[in-house]
Chain A
């Protein structure tokens, strides 16, 4: 199956700093990428959807100035958490799809655990 990687797998940062998380599709071209956030014992919550070369579409309640998403190529999307605060600590997961529509499977990365101190 298709492989999606995330880097880093874990990151600890100080409050007020910014953190960038990378999501790469290793063996296919990802037209669409999704970013999710997962709190302990809770479900994955979709944060935003990005299509290569265009601006991301954010879900209601997600601050687009705080969670900057860039999808500059067909194999790479980045999520930057700006001015991170302890409440931003969470597990961030990306997924990638080679097309739009449910017939195109979403392949998930292993996630990035962010801890803000």
Chain B
């Protein structure tokens, strides 16, 4: 079965600094990969997704992620963090034949200091 690991439970960065959130997956083939953001009181919002093709994926709010098959990783990056980016970030994988089911990582809480 597939699994997702987000090694960092909590990350603190200064506003304006760059950000990288790590995500590693375990699956025999290339999965569908997603990053979601959850703000307090809000539902999860899709930031970006990777299905195939270009391994560098651009998303909303200035985020991007790079699929690296050799490392089984799909790390999320942003060159300059804004205070409004403080939230919980979830990486998720989907696999074919599972009717759109998603397997989520445990999340990384991002704190932004001014």
Chain A residues engaging chain B, CB cutoff 8 angstroms:
1, 4, 32, 34, 41-46, 49, 57, 93, 95, 97, 100-111
Asked if A107 and B43 make an inter-chain contact with CB atoms under 8 angstroms apart, the answer reads yes
Q: Could you list 11 examples of A-B contacts with CB < 8 Å?
A: A1-B45, A43-B105, A43-B106, A45-B104, A46-B103, A93-B44, A100-B100, A102-B51, A105-B46, A106-B46, A111-B43
Q: Does B102 contact A (CB under 8 A)?
A: yes
Residues of A within 8 A of B4 (CB): 43
Top 8 nearest A-B pairs (CB, nearest first) are A108-B43, A108-B44, A43-B104, A44-B104, A43-B106, A102-B32, A110-B43, A109-B43
CB distance from A37 to the nearest CB of B (A): 11
Asked if B42 and A41 make an inter-chain contact with CB atoms under 8 angstroms apart, the answer reads no
**Interface Cβ pair total, 8 Å cutoff:** 57
Asked if B100 and A46 make an inter-chain contact with CB atoms under 8 angstroms apart, the answer reads no
Asked if B43 and A93 make an inter-chain contact with CB atoms under 8 angstroms apart, the answer reads yes
Number of interface residues of B (CB under 8 A): 23
Residues of B within 8 A of A105 (CB): 46
Residues of A within 8 A of B36 (CB): 108
Given contacts A32-B100, A49-B99, whether A41 and B106 have CB atoms under 8 Å apart is yes
Asked if A44 and B100 make an inter-chain contact with CB atoms under 8 angstroms apart, the answer reads no
Q: Give Cα distance in the complex from A106 to B44, angstroms.
A: 9
Asked if B45 and A46 make an inter-chain contact with CB atoms under 8 angstroms apart, the answer reads no
Residues of B within 8 A of A97 (CB): 100
Q: Across the two chains, which residue of chain A brings its CB closest to B39?
A: A110
B32-69, CB < 8 A from A: 32, 36, 41-46, 49, 51
Asked if B106 and A42 make an inter-chain contact with CB atoms under 8 angstroms apart, the answer reads yes
Given contacts A41-B9, A44-B90, A102-B94, whether A110 and B101 have CB atoms under 8 Å apart is no
Asked if A104 and B43 make an inter-chain contact with CB atoms under 8 angstroms apart, the answer reads no
Q: Give Cα distance in the complex from A1 to B61, angstroms.
A: 14
CB distance from A94 to the nearest CB of B (A): 9
Given contacts A41-B9, A102-B32, A102-B94, whether A46 and B43 have CB atoms under 8 Å apart is no
